[in-house]
Amino acid sequence: MIAEFRLPDLGEGLPEAEIVQWLVARGDEVTLNQPIAEVETAKAIVELPSPFAGTVSDLHAAAGDVVAVGAPLIAIDVPGDVGALAGAGGAGSADPAGVTRETAADTAAAAADTDATVPNLVGYGAAPRTAGRPQRRARAVRAAAASASASDTAVLAHAPHDVVAPAPTEDLRHERPRSTPPVRAYAKERGVDLALVEASGVTGVIRREDVDRYADAMRAQAASASATAAPGTPGARETRIPIRGVRKHTAAAMVQSAFTAPHVTTFLEVDVTETVRLVADLRADRRLDGHRIGILAVAAKAVCLALRAEPSLNARWDGPAGEIVQFHYVNLGIAAATERGLVVPHIADADRLTLVELADAIGALAQTARSGRSAPGALSGGTFSITNFGVFGIDAGTPILNPGEAGILGLGSVRRRPWEHDGQIVLRDIVTLSLSFDHRLADGQEASRFLRAVGDILREPGRAMLLS
């Protein structure tokens, strides 16, 4: 019996996800909860576990495809009664998350019922789109165009990413291509999807030469397309990059924040020579081997201490309720630049951590963010953020608020500059702090007090730590 797994709502309220890579292929045997794919949402890369044990009969999307929540993702040939397995595996639920039971007899009826939401890993996802779904491979199209030539099938298989195919009158996506195990292994080795290969013999069984013919045709077509319009080739005048994933989410969030919260930015230059010395001493302390304590960790501690005195900067504007929500904890966001774009995961209850614990948390957070493994819960729910301009050699900037937060502190590069100290001009370590804040939640006086408090702690960290 064929069990179909639909893309679940991953608990972030996002309508779609991109297939990063498949961890299984057609014909593979999978076990319950075995990872089957990595998908990228607008916030993180997530592994999807298999809801069933069985044989993979179809993959409904290719790596790089953007799939809507609730759309078919993978079909698994499950031995025995799917309903019995679902009842045994679920806790108070008739079906595992995101699973639809289908047989050859009721495929058409199931396909017609597109208005109902489908159960998934977390809650209920969006109803499948009746107009079709983005495709790169023409699995559904093959059923409606079975009489098309092999060259037509090849063109459909490599249609542009945003092509939406109309729903076919007859859906054969659950029909497993007829081939022998050696041929399936050979096709997998060559990277060929057997669902796209036409059998040349009268028996309808796909052979090695069919796989070779299809692979050669695709290679020739790809070479031809590359020769005519490959982006990034010498002489190309422009390159178009799809807006998706983290960059798409970040852009939307920044536009929303910039045009919703009235931003004000204020600056303060601070002599951080003592903080630089403290960091050097802590790094030289063998008892702290393995704990990389830097100026960012000290600044994070300073922010947590200053927010105690200025709670207006640790708050949220709740317009619909007509209330200002002040937090009695600090979920400190740390902006992290990654290959996928800017993300701001937060450290929960950062105000309860020691300096060493904060340094460890920042290091772990940055490593996880750069690998794309930040948990969805860590990417929302922050109350205040820090962005470190200094790592890029920048002195100052006007950071945009993370949506829903009252303030964000920009930490500039530490510069050795002439500075007045004890009545003399000497070289000191100077940093510029940039504070952007929501003027609905804090006025200039409160923001200035907060920024001076952070500056005072960085100026004399030893004294401040005694009071923490």
Order of strands, sheet of 66-68, starting from the edge strand that comes earlier in the sequence: 45-49, 35-40, 16-22, 66-68
Helix (H) or strand (E) holding 253: helix 245-258
Q: Which DSSP letter does residue 179 get? A: B
State yes or no: is 328 an active-site residue. no
Could you give the C-alpha distances from 334 to 215, 300, 358, 431, in angstroms and in order?
47, 9, 11, 18
CA distance 145 to 254: 44
Question: Facing residues of 302 across strands?
Answer: none
Beta bridge pairs of residue 436 = 265, 408
Alpha helices in 96-207 (DSSP H): 107-112, 139-144, 150-157, 181-190
| Residue 409 φ/ψ, nearest 5 degrees | -105, 125
Q: Of the residues 158, 249, 421, 439, which is catalytic?
A: 439
Strand partners, 99: 5
Cα–Cα distance between 214 and 211 in angstroms, integer? 5
Backbone angles phi, psi at 49, to 5 degrees: -90, 155
Residue pair 466/291 in contact by the 8 Å Cβ criterion:
no
Measured CA to CA, the distance from residue 117 to residue 98 in angstroms comes to 10
Among residues 391, 465, 463, the alpha carbon closest in space to that of 431 is found at 391
Rounding to the nearest 10 degrees, give the CA dihedral for residues 259, 303, 361, 462.
160
Active site residues: 439
